[in-house]
Amino acid sequence: MRIAVAADELVGVAEPVLAELRRRGHEPLAHGALAAEERDDWAWASEAAARDVVEGRAEQAIVCCWTGTGASIAANKVPGIRAALCADATTAAGARRWNDANVLALSLRTTSAAELAEILDAWFAGDSSGEADDRANVEHLGEIESASG
């Protein structure tokens, strides 16, 4: 799977996430501090990764900044993106299942290598719920975007 990855600095799990994705057989598309030719600020880097998803260059994205909050906010500004800031495997599994999240946001400051592996295990094992109320909530997100435009 092609996965866009953005980070605003090369600390914490910024580079290890690329290695872990490759180890799992995925093709990462690097942005921000991970790509020498790009602007590395979190808003620009996260937007680039999110646009890869909505424009079909990647199936999913992982965006990272110091807390993960700014990266998540920036990605969520791109219509069609459902970014979830996940600090543990349970949150990652829920984000995939109930929110059909297509972008994983991580904190460069607090995510350890062990947590990264657990979060990615849960993220990639997760599938979107087929339950009617869960699907209705996800579909309503598109309605909210349309009404806000």
3-state secondary structure 32-73: ECCCCCCCCCHHHHHHHHHHHHHCCCCCEEEEEECCCHHHHH
Once rounded to an integer, what is the mean pLDDT over residues 72-94? 98
Residue showing tokens 């990264």: 116
Is the distance from CB of 95 to CB of 88 less than 8 angstroms? no
- Are 97 and 127 spatial neighbours (Cβ–Cβ below 8 Å)? yes
Whole-angstrom distance, CA of residue 129 vs CA of residue 139: 12
What is the total count of domains within the chain?
1
Would you state the pLDDT for residue 95?
A: 97
Q: Residue 14 pLDDT more than 70?
A: yes
The span from the CA of 21 to the CA of 84, in Å, is: 18
CATH number at residue 118: 3.40.1400.10
Cα(26)–Cα(23) distance, integer angstroms: 7
Q: Is 96 helix (H, G, I), strand (E, B) or coil?
A: helix
The reported pLDDT for the residue numbered 149 is 65
Per the prediction, the chain carries an average pLDDT of 96
- DSSP designation for 22: H
pLDDT at 106: 98
Answer whether residue 129 shows pLDDT above 90: no
pTM over 0.75: yes
At residue 90 the predicted structure's pLDDT band, cuts being 50, 70 and 90, is very high
Find out whether 108 and 12 touch, Cβ atoms under 8 Å.
Answer: yes
Q: What is the pLDDT of residue 134?
A: 87
Under DSSP, is residue 135 helix (H, G, I), strand (E, B) or coil?
Answer: helix
Give the tens place of pLDDT for each residue, 16-66: 999 999 999 999 999 999 999 999 999 999 999 999 999 999 999 999 999
Helices within 57-131 (DSSP H only): 69-76, 89-99, 113-125
**Position 148 confidence tier, pLDDT thresholds 50, 70, 90:** confident
Q: Could you list the residue range(s) of the whole structural domain that residue 142 is in? A: 2-148
